[in-house]
Chain A
Amino acid sequence: MSQAQLHRLPIKLCLLALLCLSSIGGALTFGPVNIRAQQLLTCFTASCPTPVIDMVLYQVRVPRILVGLVAGMGLAIAGAILQNTTRNPLADPYLFGIVSGAGLGATIASITLANMLTLALPLAAFLGALFAVVIVVLIAKALQRMEQLLLAGVAVSFMLAAISQFLLYLGEPFATNRVLFWLMGSLARVELANFYVISSVLVFALMVILAFHRHIDALLLGDESAASLGVNADKLRLIMLALCAALTATIVAYCGGIGFVGLMIPHIVRQILGVTTIPLILGSMLIGGTFILWVDVIARTALENAEIPIGIITSATGSIFFLLIMYRTRKN
């Protein structure tokens, strides 16, 4: 990064922070129930004009926006870290079998614990996601080639998805619906307690990343250069993978499968703020959070009497974005 770019970095970050903050305010005004900006101000400064607005705002919209914000931040930084530590631009938390593992957990919960799904589903999804990552790491270790983490992840993904599909085939048909639509992702089911859980894991992940940011930057130079700087590449990759897995698993457990954010956002941030860890992480957080806020606005307002699962919108925009990147690369 040149000196001029370095000087512009705080300005760019401030602008992104401003965009994120204004998006929070903007997103609060969208929803099936019409709440005007003036009414919002009254709610925050005094008390809401009607009990209905009070309930909609504090029980539905605020938790949804806060969880969307931290989920977008978490998925984006998980993607950024995995891409930097594996030096693979296609690395995404979901490629390590996290969603398939969560899906398997959700399937088992949906079939066996249908009466207590509110608690059982996120817990089972979280355990399933962690289970998938542990298997991926064990396989990569057994192969003694940590660079094959991604390939092992793809194989484990297919394996766990097949088990889920077989269980769903044998189970009752409504379980299939539940799991299928859960995997499409949604912020409609979240509550404020989920925000506290996700943001705690996010803060912990940020602290660890900040502690290791120079080591991660060294990995960008290649394993040998990193080793000459005293960095144990395999160990660092494992720590980062475990961290990103825990963060993503927590988000998936509450929000379902929100694809492409971890893959797409870091690529945008690199174009604006560069590749080194600190600006990349800060930028990914701000753009990732903002992106999910607006995607959720589309999800809850695009159809008059229904909601679009959020994962559909992120995947659709993500795939178009990727095709554009491929097109630009071809032109270059």
Chain B
Amino acid sequence: MILFKAVTVKVSLMITLATVLLTSLSLAAKPQETESKPLPKIIALSPHIVEMLYDVGAGKQIIATTDFADYPEQAKNIPSIGNYIRLQLEKVIALQPDLIIAWKSGNPSDDLARLSQLGFKVVYSEPKTFRDIAKELRQFADLSGHSEQGRQVADAFLKQLDDIKDRYRDKQTITAFYELWSRPLTTIARGSWPQQHLNICRAENPFEQVSSPYPQVNIEQVLKTPIQLIIQPLSVNQKDKEGFNWRDWPTIQAVSENNIITPDADALHRMTRRSLLALDKLCLDIDKVRQSYLSGI
């Protein structure tokens, strides 16, 4: 009986050992399979797509891009195969990418149609809201073979977005003028990318209801509106002088109170994870001005 028990224990041990061995072998074999499968070579046709791919860990797979892809630093070394006007089809063909990620409204649609026709896989990016950024982070991560990292980055992004929204949800609104360009003086309205920034930060845009998303305005229209804050985003490539000279108009409340903020236009306007950091900073700056008005009452 004792002998039988000993044999049973031995057999059970052997079976367990064999199972563990097989499982570990199969587990060890699985990553090797994944590793052996080459990751797709990608052409990313806009700076925001390049940035998103770096965010999900697929930066090294980018074999070409378009002009102005300058973030992160490594992106400056990616060869360019065109710009927002035209792509060099011959170069795309020579590179033989597995995947082309294009910006639907920012790339030449005829060139993209031609590439699809030639048999290349073209996937489009068209983020309209912050939530679209998270969606595309996941999508690009799946397509580039980095699903897990993409999911983590997208989840963290959405959580951070919700945190910012919650922080300012019940704040009192402040009237702000958003200077998109200075010559001609151009602002934003509904349907534009930065309008959602103002909505989240509880800044009221007096031109929100204009039908054009990026309307040109007359300084007289600004003068007749009580503006408490002027937001003048500036790019790193832009000199301060290129912004509108608000000091010439001291009758505007925001100017007389020196409530002019100059956030980083590149981070604010590029539809990537970085825009959330810029949003956070913008809301903080707007809130400081809000507090100064509230404390002055």
Task: Tell me the A223-248 residues at the B interface (CB within 8 Å).
Answer: none
**A92 in the interface, Cβ–Cβ < 8 Å?**
no
With A60-B93, A188-B89: A305-B79 Cβ-Cβ less than 8 Å? yes
Find the B residue at minimum CB distance from A50. B94
Q: Which of B80, B84, B109 contacts A117, CB < 8 Å?
A: B109
CB nearest neighbor in A for B85: A181
Q: Cβ of A117 and Cβ of B110 under 8 Å apart?
A: yes
Q: Is B266 close to A, CB under 8 A?
A: no
B292 at the binding interface (Cβ < 8 Å) = no
Given contacts A56-B90, A170-B212, contact A305 B114 (CB under 8 A): no
Given known A55-B93, A189-B114, contact A178–B86 (CB-CB < 8 A): no
- B118 close to A (CB within 8 Å): yes
Instruction: Name the contact of A307 in the complex, choosing from B88, B96, B106 (C-beta under 8 A).
Output: B88
Interface residues of A in 298-315 (CB under 8 A from B): 300, 305-307, 309
**Are B211 and A170 in contact (CB-based, < 8 A)?**
yes
Closest CB of chain B to A276's CB: distance in Å? 40
Cβ-defined partner of B86 (8 Å) among A52, A118, A188: A188
0 or 1 for each of A155-193: is its CB under 8 Å from B? (1 = yes): 000000000000001111110011001000010110100
Task: Check A306 against B114 for contact (C-beta < 8 Å).
Answer: no
Flag B104-146 by CB within 8 Å of A: 1 or 0 each. 0110111101100110000000000000000000000000000
Contact with A along B38-72 (1 / 0, CB 8 A): 00000000000000000000000000000100000
Is the beta-carbon distance between A177 and B84 smaller than 8 angstroms? yes
B214 located at the interface, meaning its Cβ lies under 8 Å from any Cβ of chain A in the complex:
yes
Whole-angstrom CA separation of A181 from B85 in the bound complex: 6
Chain A's nearest CB lies how many Å from the CB of B212?
5
A172 to B, closest residue via Cβ: B213
Contact B88 A189 (CB under 8 A): no
B41–chain A nearest beta-carbon distance, Å: 14
A306 and B109 alpha carbons, distance in the complex (Å) = 16
Contacting pair A61 B90 (CB below 8 A): yes
- Name A306's contact: one of B83, B106, B191, B211 (CB within 8 Å): B83
How distant is B48 from chain A, measured CB to nearest CB, in Å?
14
Interface pair A305/B81, CB less than 8 Å apart: yes
Give chain B nearest CB distance to A212 CB in angstroms.
Answer: 36
- Known contacts A118-B110, A173-B213; A32 and B88 CB within 8 A of each other: yes
Please name all residues of chain A whose beta carbon is closer than 8 Å to the beta carbon of B214 when the two chains form the complex.
173
Distance in angstroms from B165 CB to nearest chain A CB is 26
Decide yes or no: A178 and B109 within 8 Å by CB, A59-B118, A189-B114 being known contacts.
yes
Which residues from B are CB-within-8-Å of A309? 85-86
Q: How far is the CB of B293 from chain A (nearest CB, A)?
A: 33
Taken together as a complex, chains A and B put the C-alpha atoms of A52 and B212 apart, in Å, by: 44
Q: Check A186/B90 contact, CB under 8 A, given A55-B118, A117-B110, A178-B109.
A: no
Please report the total number of A residues contacting B with Cβ < 8 Å: 31
Decide yes or no whether A33 CB sits under 8 A from chain B.
Answer: yes
| A31 at interface, CB cutoff 8 A | yes
| Chain A proximity of B291: nearest CB distance (Å) | 34
In the complex, how many residue pairs between chain A and chain B have their CB atoms under 8 Å apart?
A: 86
Most chain B beta-carbon neighbours within 10 Å: one of A117, A188, A191? A188
A307–B114 CB distance below 8 A: no
Is B86 within 8 A of A114, CB to CB? Answer: no
B82 proximal to A (CB < 8 A): yes
Contact: A169 with B212, CB < 8 Å?
yes
Q: Please pick, from A32, A172, A173, the residue contacting B90 in the complex, using a CB distance under 8 A.
A: A32
Interface flags, B175-218, vs A, CB<8A=1, else 0: 00000000000000001000000000000000000011110100
Complex: A4 Cα to B213 Cα, angstroms? 67
Q: Check: B91 CB closer than 8 A to any chain A CB.
A: yes
Which chain B residue lies CB-closest to A305?
A: B80
Q: Which residue of B lies closest to A180 (CB)?
A: B85
Q: State A181–B145 Cα separation when bound (angstroms).
A: 36
Q: Is the C-beta of A73 less than 8 angstroms from some C-beta in chain B?
A: no
Chain A neighbourhood of B191, CB < 8 A: 172
Contact partner of A52 (CB less than 8 A), chosen from B67, B94, B109, is: B94
Which among A33, A170, A178 is the interface contact of B94 at CB below 8 angstroms? A33
Chain B: CB-nearest residue to A117: B109
A31 to B118: give the CA distance in the assembly, Å. Answer: 18
Docked Cα-Cα span, A174 to B109, in Å, equals 11
CA A154 – CA B67 in complex, angstroms? 38
Instruction: Provide the residues of chain B in CB contact with A173, threshold 8 Å.
Output: 213-214
Q: Which of B252-286 contact A (CB under 8 A)?
A: none
* A33 with B109: CB separation less than 8 A: no
> Counting CB contacts under 8 A, is A77 at the interface?
no
B106 touching A174, Cβ below 8 Å: yes
Contact A305 B88 (CB under 8 A): yes
Considering the complex, give the chain B residue whose CB is closest to the CB of A169: B212
Which of A52, A170, A300 touches B93 (beta carbons < 8 Å)?
A: A52
**Complex contact A56–B93 (CB within 8 A):** yes
Is A307 a contact partner of B90 (Cβ separation < 8 A)? Answer: no
Q: At the interface, yes or no: A121 with Cβ under 8 Å from chain B?
A: yes
- Determine if A60 and B213 form an interchain contact, defined as CB atoms under 8 angstroms apart: no
Q: Evaluate whether A60 and B110 lie within 8 angstroms (CB atoms) in the complex, with A172-B105, A305-B81 already known.
A: no
* B90 adjacent to A306 (CB under 8 Å): no
Q: What is the CB-to-nearest-CB distance from B268 to chain A, in angstroms, rounded to a whole number?
A: 16
A sample of 13 more A-B contacts (CB under 8 A), given A60-B93, A117-B113, A300-B90, is A33-B90, A33-B91, A52-B94, A55-B93, A114-B105, A121-B110, A173-B214, A177-B84, A189-B108, A191-B117, A305-B67, A305-B83, A309-B85
Selected A-B contacts with CB under 8 Å, 12 pairs: A52-B94, A56-B93, A117-B113, A170-B212, A177-B84, A181-B85, A188-B89, A189-B111, A305-B88, A305-B91, A306-B67, A306-B82
Q: Which chain B residues have a beta carbon within 8 Å of chain A's beta carbons?
A: 67, 79-91, 93-94, 96, 105-106, 108-111, 113-114, 117-118, 191, 211-214, 216
